[in-house]
Chain A
Amino acid sequence: MVKIKSLAELKKIKEQAQNSVSLRVKGDNIENMIQIRVAMATCGIAAGAREVMNEFVEALNEEHIDNAVVTQTGCMGYCYAEPTIELTMPGKDPIIYGYVDKQKVHDIINKTIKHGELIDGIINSQHKTIE
């Protein structure tokens, strides 16, 4: 148990992150960010939503995509298709993908996020974001 010593390392990680994303303006202009919201209610959690969220964060880190934020949302009502995610590209309507697994996370990043190409598994084009 060497907690104090280890936590201090977080400062370095923070500084590194600050340098690599110096161009990004955060917080106040969330509309300009790619938003990925993972449905994290009982249905989503039981189906693997937590791992999907982890995979998104790791993949975005590897791909150096700095203008994306991964967060969670409640049950969107598509319990049969969990894990589900809501992807909002800046200035566009949200898209819901269902049956998301680790492979699909990479497909969504490589096709939809990078090239705007839609892939299989879209749930409902009429969807309006909740809250």
Chain B
Amino acid sequence: MMKELALHVLDIAENSVRGEAKHIEIVIGEDLKTNRFTMDINDDGKGIPEEMLKTIRNPFTTTRTHRKVGMGIPFLNDTCLMCGGRLDIESEVGVGTRVHADMEHENIDRPPLGDIASTLINLFSSYPDISFAYRHTYRARDWEEAQEFSLTTEELNEILEGMPLTTPSVFIWVRDFIRDSISGLKELEEE
């Protein structure tokens, strides 16, 4: 099993990469007021045929060629069910795939989100030809509105002007920037 939900995000996004996506959107929603934790991974990849979609939660369904099992989706499906939620997968061949994971935020079985910043920088740096968009919303129990952090690889590339995100000092800076921005979400902005 995955120790962190951020590892599931990495794993599901890798499916999008293998599905030849050009744009991948990752959205994390933490709403303590409604007690929901959601993760969305949306792509414009080649999509999943209807037949395969029916059996996708079965570990013996996989596109792998090295071996006959694929645990990514089944793991996440189980985690969602265990945590008072569900996993929805919508897909259309030639259009793309939307994976929506929903859980209770305060469920004792819910793994922590974990190091989402590492997940993102690993994806951003390894796949320079794919444009990624990340959005993270957080609402504490006593807040009226959620706070939001968003970042796209387009914004980063504009600043970097061709310098790859694999450059170690850049990789580390962006990772720490995402980390700090997300922990900043949980503190209320001072007027």
Contact = CB atoms under 8 A, between A and B. Distances in A.
B160 interface: yes
Q: Is the contact region of chain A dominated by helix, strand, or loop, or is it mixed?
A: helix
B149 A42 contact: no
Contact of A17 (B2, B126, B155, B167): B167
The interface size bin for chain B is 35 or more
Contacts of B149: 1, 3
Contacts of B143: none
Nearest to A63: B168
Contacts of A60: 168
Nearest to A76: B66
Interface in B60-116: 64, 66-67, 70-72, 75, 115
B122 A11 contact: no
Q: Is the contact region of chain B dominated by helix, strand, or loop, or is it mixed?
A: helix
Given A13-B169, A14-B170, A57-B171, A3 B181 contact: yes
B73 to A, nearest CB: 9
A13 B14 contact: no
B181 A61 contact: no
Given A1-B147, A50-B10, A53-B122, A42 B168 contact: no
A12 to B, nearest CB: 9
Contacts of A75: 64, 66-67
Contact of A71 (B67, B70, B126): B126
B163 interface: yes
A71 B118 contact: no
Contacts of A18: 163
Interface string A51-88: 10110011011000000011110111101000000000
A1 B169 contact: no
A54 B174 CA distance: 12
A109 interface: no
Given A1-B147, A3-B149, A14-B161, A72 B122 contact: yes
A81 B189 CA distance: 46
Interface residues of A, number: 40
Interface in A1-48: 1-3, 6-11, 13-14, 16-18, 21, 26-27, 40-43, 45-46
B159 A50 contact: no
A37 to B, nearest CB: 9
Contacts of B181: 1, 3, 6
B70 to A, nearest CB: 7
Nearest to A42: B72
B166 A69 contact: yes
In order of increasing CB-CB distance, the 9 nearest A-B pairs are A61-B168, A77-B66, A42-B72, A72-B126, A71-B126, A13-B173, A10-B159, A57-B171, A57-B168
6 contacts: A10-B160, A10-B173, A40-B122, A58-B168, A71-B166, A75-B67
